[in-house]
Amino acid sequence: MSEERKPISTDSEWTFELIEEYDKELARLADRFRLDTYPNQIEVISSEQMMDAYSSTGMPLMYNHWSFGKQFLHTQQNYEQGHMGLAYEIVINSNPCIAYLMEENTMTMQALVLAHASYGHNSFFKGNYLFRTWTDADSIIDYLMFAKKYVAECEEKYGVEAVEDIMDACHALMNQGVNRYKRPRPLSAAKEREMQEDRAEYIQRTLNDIWSTIPKTEEKEESKIKRFPEDPEENILYFLEKNAPLLEIWQRELLRIVRKVAQYYYPQRQTQVMNEGWATFWHYTLLHELYDEGKVTEGFMLEFLHSHSSVIYQPPFDSPHYSGINPYTLGYCMFMDIKRICEDPTEEDKHWFPDIAGSDWLETLHFAMTNFKDESFILQFLSPKVMRDLRLFSIFDDEGKSYLEVNAIHDEPGYKEVRESLAAQYNLGNREPNIQIYDVDVRGDRTLTLRHYQHESRPLEKTTTDELLKHIHKLWQFDVKLDSVADEKVGKSFMCPEKK
Amino acid sequence: MGIIIDRRLNGKNKSTVNRQRFLDRYRKHIKKAVSEAVNKRSITDVESGSQVTIPTKDLSEPFFRHGQGGRYKQVHPGNKEFISGDRIKRPNGGQGQGSGQGKAGNSGDGMDEFSFQINHEEFLNHMFDDLELPNLVRKQLQDATEFKMKNAGFTSQGSPDRLNIIRSLKSAHARRIALGGGARKEVKALKRKLRELEVSAEITDTEEVEQLQIRIKELNNKLKKLPFIDDFDLKYNNMVKVPCPSNKAVMFCVMDVSGSMTQEIKDMAKRFFILLYLFLQRNYKQIEVVFIRHHTAAKEVDEDDFFYSRETGGTIVSSALEMTRDIIDDRYSPNDWNIYVAQASDGDNWEGDSSVCSKILTEQIMSKVQYFSYVEITDRAHQNLWREYESLGDQFPDQFAMEQIKTPNDIYQVFRRLFEKKETA
């Protein structure tokens, strides 16, 4: 750039004025790249506060639970002994979008965090279809406020222990507490409270319906006894909330609260690679743009690039630091690669991606961000070049064989296979066991039967499953049974209480 | 463009409640860790907290998840020499393959133990949980012989060294204003009148001028006579005597170091002393420790000698008690000090001395001390000292306690029992 360079800051100390200045510049650039965001709320906090935020799943307010305390102690211990640095930022999917900046950060880091969180993540939250469908950024804070208050009231009325009993069980079932196909209604705290009261009354009146079918022995119905529920129910918490025979109203409400929170996190769990990749791509792009305009110094860029490259470092599989694929790396590489394919496609790209090769990169990137989740994003956009760059290979592990097999690597015959296995890896349906409510012995001893539909004949882990059944039993309060099913045949069974 | 908010001043201890919940939930584990730490500590090391370690399996938050087995495909980065079709030996226990959990398990799977730090306060709280010194009298206020001087406003009488200059001058100033106000106002008015007369066009009435001048002089003289400072103005800092409870305790560690005491027994005794010391430290601001060891004769020593020097010889317990009594009389007036005595022994005593002990205790020591505790570290049958002391226990049920320790494991329990809350009958 031939213009004279006029950097916003030359010092590593930050001030509120400088943050504002950077924010203004970034907002201008974000606008140019059509990043549509919720309004930003940038909060400067201390490292202690960051630890607090860490241990309440990042939310600014949360009901109380011992497990958050455990998380806090863990974080504190690691941080104070220097095993771990704190994340530079936490960002919350809410409207306005809240981003935390740590006061210890340098000016460069604050600018990086602003670009990453307030423009990267923020636009992802607002744009991606999963977030648009499943979460309600406007009401989450309100809802948590309601939840916190409600839980506290219950603790006051029924004792901390009684509440924790239920909460422990709910937390264990959190992953089984989401609707995958139905969109929940957005609710504000006030409405939620109102509804809660209506609900309480309604449940009281109708709960016993399924039990009211007192065995009519005269009418012989042996032929076709309908199961209850008629179709298997995957949302276990929902089923228990509505149907567990002996739960008190307030206990049902607690189930609901945990269910709602789980639902809120559901999109995040499915878009980790995309979300981080998107934010990383944009902090990289926006800050380079600032540099090109002469708004930041070379020292700034060096510091930024240093931390950028440690964020996207991917240790190889045989490194002691290896703990799976780094979502930042994968996501960032893929978005960069999409841009490259659009701007400067090779023959290979034209063959693999005829639709996007040579198209407008910004358009394509926005399209990818809006309409995919990790699984489909990888399936759609992972290019041979990225596979080669990351040197991806796929390992096949079959219990029946004494060895592991490398079934595909980053070469012509392997690209498709690697891509498919990697995509499958991000499919929550494969990752987590598929467990559904199958039947209730309505006429008999009220035994609740769950079914585990086995995927690739993978078994359930025994100890945790036993624990889980105890939790379900605590909520259902009658016998609970879990069958592992493969090819319509029942394999291993778990019972709670265990049969003598 | 966003809003920037400085939240640094908001509370930072949002997690306190959750932390406490966690500690409450794992109270059992923490207690265990604490009592282990106590056994290892030295008597001087009471300021730190403690590391508590809990096996992860005890605090797991389970989720449904896959176990080993079945068929997996897993993609890894950083391929070096593999090509399709390569076969690799299965790593032991399947750990190395990171079967889908390396990524999902970010909440600390794979850790065998969960450790965290509890602070000094919590450490002691757990240790002294529901303990209370018997008859723990912070010396009754009326008995207190110790006083503290405290500021209590101002008085108009006092000794010159308590004179408060600012207050005094302020009050003098106020007095001068109050007394001289009228005169000063009049002087002003007269002066103005005088000037008017002097500059008026008419012929001046000399007589009137003179009269005015005299009056002004008069008033000025009167003003001058007002004293700059008067006895009446003097203000003194007022100090009052406030009785304050005695906050000092002295602890006598009395131990038999005769030939029959092995190092192991001494170590056990040491734990006992440490615990008492810790407990006192929690209740008193200032604690002194006196170490008295004895065989046939008693000697006051420092901590190191007390626990580690070797002696041989017979045992005469009364020598130590006499020494304790003398030191109390010499240095630790029961009016100023809360006195605690802890005695440890293996129960041996010279025949015929036990009754002397009992006599010294009843007549000369028990009335001065808050508490006397005796532990007998032995697994043999009790001897005459124990029997002699037993009768003391009946005489002073609230002040005297004794226990027998057999193994190191008993120590903490004994300690607890010694200081258990006595139910007020």
Which chain B residues have a beta carbon less than 8 Å from that of A428?
none
Total residue length of chain B? 425
DSSP H or E stretch at residue A183: none
- Predicted structure pTM score: 0.69
pLDDT 10s digits, A37-68: 999 999 998 888 888 888 877 787 889 998 88
Q: Which residues of A touch B51 (CB under 8 A)?
A: none
Judged by CB atoms within 8 Å, which residues 200-219 of B form the interface with A? none
Partners of residue B108 in chain A, C-beta under 8 Å: 74
Nearest to A66 among B21, B64, B72 (CB): B21
Taking only the tens place, the pLDDT of each residue in B244-280 is 656 778 888 888 887 777 777 777 787 778 777 776 7
B58, B79, B92, B109: best to mutate for the A interface, most A CBs within 10 A? B79
Cα B34 to the center of its chain, rounded Å: 19
Q: Is the pLDDT of residue B84 over 60?
A: yes
Residue B420 in this model has a pLDDT that exceeds 60: no
pLDDT (mean) for B235-246: 76
pLDDT greater than 80 at residue B11 = no
- Is the Cβ–Cβ distance between A372 and A423 less than 8 Å? no
Residues 6+ apart with CB under 8 A from B330: none
CB pair distance less than 8 Å for A471 and B72: no
Pick from A49, A69, A391: CB nearest B77: A391
Please provide residue B245's backbone torsions phi and psi, each rounded to the nearest 5 degrees: -65, 150
Find the CB nearest B12 among A44, A46, A325. Answer: A46
pLDDT less than 50: residues of chain A: 1-2, 216-223
- CB contact under 8 Å between A323 and B72, yes or no, is no
Is B16:B122 a contact under the CB 8 Å cutoff?
A: no
Which of the 8 DSSP states describes residue A401? S
Cis amide linkage into residue A497, ω under 30° from 0: yes
B 18-57 residues inside an 8 A Cβ radius of A: 18-25
Q: Look at A317 and B77 and tell me if their CB atoms are within 8 Å.
A: yes
For residue B124, the model assigns a pLDDT of: 67
Chain A residues near residue B104 by CB distance under 8 angstroms? 431
Classified as helix, coil or strand, A343 is helix
Residues of B in contact with A461 (CB under 8 A): 65-67
CA-based nearest residue in chain A for residue B15 = A52
pLDDT at B213: 84
The confidence score (pLDDT) of residue B282 equals 62
Rounded to the nearest angstrom, the gap between the alpha carbon of residue B406 and the centroid of all alpha carbons in its chain is: 32
Tell me the pLDDT band of B411, cut-offs 50, 70 and 90.
low
Long-range contacts of B139-144 (CB under 8 A, 24+ apart): B139/B245, B139/B246, B139/B338, B140/B245, B141/B243, B141/B245, B142/B243, B143/B335, B144/B243, B144/B244, B144/B245, B144/B246
Helices assigned H by DSSP within A271-373? 272-292, 298-311, 327-343, 347-352, 361-371
Report the complex ipTM.
0.83
pLDDT of residue B409: 62
Q: What DSSP character marks residue A472?
A: H
Give the nearest partner residue to B65 out of A100, A315, A464, using CB atoms.
A464
Residues of A in contact with B63 (CB under 8 A): 172, 174-175, 432, 464, 468
pLDDT top residue among B409 and B189: B189
Calculate the average pLDDT of chain B: 76
- Quick check: B421 pLDDT over 50? no
Q: Is the pLDDT of residue B108 over 50?
A: no
Chain A touched by B8 (CB under 8 Å): yes
Tens-place pLDDT, residues B341-358:
888 888 778 878 888 888
Q: Is the pLDDT of residue B199 over 50?
A: yes
Averaged pLDDT, B296-306: 82
Q: Residue B70 is nearest to which of A41, A394, A399, comparing CB atoms? A: A399
What mean pLDDT do residues B394-419 have?
69
Task: Please give the sequence-ordered ranges of beta strands (E in DSSP) within A85-178, or none if there are none.
Answer: 89-92, 97-102
pLDDT in tens, B146-161: 567 788 888 888 888 8
SS3 A40: strand
Distance CA B58, CA A217 (A): 48
Rounded to whole angstroms, how far apart are CA atoms B136 and B122? Answer: 22
Chain B residues close to A69, C-beta within 8 Å: 15, 17-23
- The per-residue pLDDT for range B354-378, each reduced to its tens digit, is 888 888 888 888 888 888 888 888 8
Q: What is the pLDDT, as a whole number, of residue B43?
A: 59
List, as ranges, residues 68-107 from B with C-beta within 8 Å of A: 68-80, 82-90, 94, 97-100, 102-104, 107
Query: Cβ distance A485 to A460 under 8 Å?
Result: no
**Beta-carbon separation of A403 and B75 below 8 A:** no
Q: How far is A315 from chain B (nearest CA, A)?
A: 7
What is the structure's pLDDT at A354?
A: 92
- Residue A476: exposure state from Cβ atoms within 10 A (0-12, 13-18, ≥19): buried
According to the model, what pLDDT value does residue B142 have?
Answer: 30
Model confidence at B134: pLDDT above 50 = no
CA distance B139 to B368: 12
Tell me the shortest Cα–Cα distance from A3 to chain B, in angstroms: 26
Smallest Cα distance from B35 to chain A, Å: 21
Q: Give the model confidence (pLDDT) of B158-184 as tens digits.
A: 888 888 889 999 999 998 888 888 888
When CB atoms are compared, the residue of B66, B77, B108 closest to A316 is B77
Taking the C-alpha atoms of residue B413 and residue B405, their distance in angstroms, rounded to an integer, is: 9
What does the pLDDT read at residue B244?
63
